[in-house]
Amino acid sequence: MDRKTDESTQRHVMVLERGVKRTLACIAAILVVIAVELAMLTPGRTPAVQAQIPDTALQRQNILAETQRTNELLQKILGHLQSKSIKVVMQGAEKGASGNAPRSSR
């Protein structure tokens, strides 16, 4: 009877080990599938990191381009002021009830 008990125990242990191995293999396969799906769905990490680091060279280049554009416009305005005459019209203050411009009291 001792021998039968040992054999039946060994069978149960072997069956249990096979079941545990199969279960662990299935779990491992499912984890691999999940990892592959997550890797495929997750966007690359590089653009997110680059978005956080300011590009100072590009910022300086943009500032320089804007400064050059401003200087060009100011040169055009200066050339216009130097080459053409300017007509200035002085308008008086609003007229009062009597029809004359109000006088300032000094």
Q: What is the CA radius of gyration of the chain?
A: 44
pLDDT of residue 48: 55
Where are the chain's structural domains? 1-45
Per-residue pLDDT of the chain (106 residues; tens, 9 = 90+): 555 666 666 666 666 687 888 899 999 999 999 998 888 886 665 555 556 777 899 999 999 999 999 999 999 999 988 888 878 888 887 665 555 555 555 4
Structure pTM?
0.34
State which H helix or E strand residue 102 sits in.
Answer: none
* Contact criterion met (CB below 8 Å) for 64 and 57: no
Left, alpha or beta for 66 (phi > 0: left; psi -120 to 50: alpha)? alpha
Written as six digits, the tokens of 80 are 């216009």
